[in-house]
Amino acid sequence: MKQNILISSLGDDFQHLDTIIDSIKESLESHNKLILFCPSSIEYYDGQSEWELSFIEKLKSHSISFDEYVSLTSNESESLWQTKVQEASLIYLHGGNPIIQKQLYEDKGIYELLKHYEGLMLGASAGAMNMSHYITLTPTNEEYPDFVVEEALHRVDVSIYPHLSFPNVFYRFIMTGDGLVDVEDLLTISFQTPLYLLADGQFIIGNQEVVPDPIIQVKEGIITRNSIPVYTGFDIIDERYLHQQQGHYYELLDTFDTMKQALEEGLISSLFGVNVNEARVYRNHMKFFASYEDIIVIKQVASENEQLFLIQHPHLKLGALSYLKQDNGTILESFEFKTIFSRRVEEKVVLGKIIEIR
């Protein structure tokens, strides 16, 4: 029986592997014939064999072993590639350029074999995109200058876009290893195919099971987070806030008994002066530092279990306020922010102000 696991990234030292190890075990015996690694291009990248051997050792630590390990290379014959695909107990598709990877597999005569392969297949990044319904790309750099929606192996009924590790709220742009992704481009391309946006450390197991939460999808121009529509409000966000740089941010936590209490007594009301109602956009005039400035609060997600707000202010590079219901029923408040000032100023002024409120 076919089993598929689509991977955005296993992370350094395979720290995310534990999330899917039970699913891998369910699809394999304790002792298996062959683990097969399929490259993403004709190049054999530095450290590839070391990574593969480390991955095998990691599986061994979970009591999964193999009689044989094969890492295919482009200088080997088509017949060898085809034979090893048919013999494999587990096939791993490496990351890279999904279009080049697809062409390589077609040239080696294994594309149709992979489509109908009955064992366990793991695909990472480009490999996962090739396992999808469609390979889907947006313009991000010189290697990917155009929109692409191209038929893939269709091992699963969905298409994925990897490496999109969003914070709680959605900014217009997000930096990935492949370049700057414009969320508006994802909205555009979603009219051709729905997409699952996978963060590093997230997986699709089977056909559509996404682990762990949150499940972020975009379809026909609408983003949903755990099935709740996300209001992006990009048309009202100042250009200065569109490209959020990665870096240190503060995260302040508090807990409340109910969502109603959190919205009435938390930072949303006490710091930002917002009386939350059905509106999506709230405007106010407040002082973070020395002067009063206009502030815009955008409610992106609103449900019984989560309320997410994007905070736009001239002194903030990043502002995300969230209220999330925990398993024990309490509401966890989190304010993630980074200012245009030094860390010392942030600690002295903003943190001091919040401590006073608390």
Calculate mean pLDDT across residues 310-331: 93
Domain match, 254 and 199 both: no
Q: Are residues 73 and 204 in the same domain?
A: yes
Q: Do residues 350 and 284 both lie within one domain?
A: yes
| One domain for residues 244 and 312 | yes
Same domain as 56, residue 173: yes
Tell me phi and psi for residue 70, to 5 degrees: -130, 130
Query: Can you give the residue range of the structural domain that contains 137?
Result: 3-230
Residues 9, 14, 17, CA angle at the centre, nearest 5°? Answer: 80
Note the pLDDT tens digit of each residue in 226-263. Answer: 999 999 988 887 766 666 555 567 888 899 999 999 99
Q: Is there a cis peptide before residue 314, judged by omega within 30 degrees of 0?
A: no
Percent of the chain with pLDDT over 70: 97
pLDDT at position 298 is 95
Could you tell me if 224 and 336 lie in one domain? no
What pLDDT sits at residue 29? 85
- State whether 220 and 245 are in the same domain: no
DSSP result, 153-189: --SSSSEEE------SS--SEEEETTEEEEHHHHHHH
Question: Between 166 and 330, whose confidence is greater?
Answer: 330
For residue 23, give the CATH number of its domain: 3.40.50.880
pLDDT tens-digit profile of 268-309? 999 999 999 999 999 999 888 888 999 999 999 999 999 999
Residue 106 burial (10 A CB sphere; 0-12, 13-18, 19+): exposed
Tell me which of 173, 198, 230 is where a domain ends: 230
Q: Do residue 271 and residue 309 come from a single domain?
A: yes
- Rounded Cα–Cα distance for residues 177 and 185 (Å): 17
Q: Which amino acid is at 80?
A: L
Closest CA to 229 of 329, 282, 300: 300
Single out the residue in 174, 202, 230 at which a domain terminates.
Answer: 230
How far is 43 from 99, CA to CA, in rounded Å? 14
User: What span, in angstroms and rounded, lies between the C-alpha atoms of 358 and 356?
Assistant: 5
39 and 63 assigned to the same domain: yes
> 322 and 224, same structural domain?
no
Q: Is the pLDDT of residue 77 over 80?
A: yes
Q: Domains in the chain: how many in total? A: 2
Query: Global pTM?
Result: 0.88
Whether residue 85 is predicted with pLDDT greater than 80 in this model: the reply is: yes
Same domain, 205 and 278: no
Q: Which residue has the higher pLDDT, 103 or 168?
A: 103
Q: How far apart are CA 217 and CA 224, in angstroms?
A: 5
Q: Give the list of residues 6+ apart from residue 237 with CB closer than 8 angstroms, or none.
A: 172, 296, 298, 310, 312
Span 102-145, pLDDT tens digits = 999 999 999 999 999 999 999 999 999 999 999 999 999 889 99
The tens digit of pLDDT for each residue in 40-73 reads 998 877 889 999 999 999 999 999 999 999 999 9
Instruction: Tell me what pLDDT residue 355 has.
Output: 84
**Per this entry, what is the length of the chain?**
358
Per-residue confidence band for 205, with pLDDT thresholds at 50, 70 and 90? very high
Report the relative pairing of strands 306-312 and 250-256 from DSSP bridges: unpaired
Is pLDDT above 70 for 155?
A: yes
What residues contact residue 30 under an 8 Å CB cut-off, 6+ apart? 63, 64, 65
- The per-residue pLDDT for 344 is 86
Q: What is the mean pLDDT of the chain?
A: 92
pLDDT at residue number 233: 87
> How does residue 317 score in pLDDT terms, banded at 50, 70 and 90?
confident
Q: Which of 213, 230, 247 is the last residue in one of the domains?
A: 230
Question: Do residues 151 and 248 both lie within one domain?
Answer: no
Return the pLDDT at 43. 83
> What number is the average pLDDT over the span 202-216?
91
Q: Which residues have C-beta within 8 Å of that of residue 218, sequence separation ≥ 6?
A: 186, 187, 190, 194, 195, 197, 224
What CATH code is carried by the domain that includes residue 274?
A: 3.30.530.20
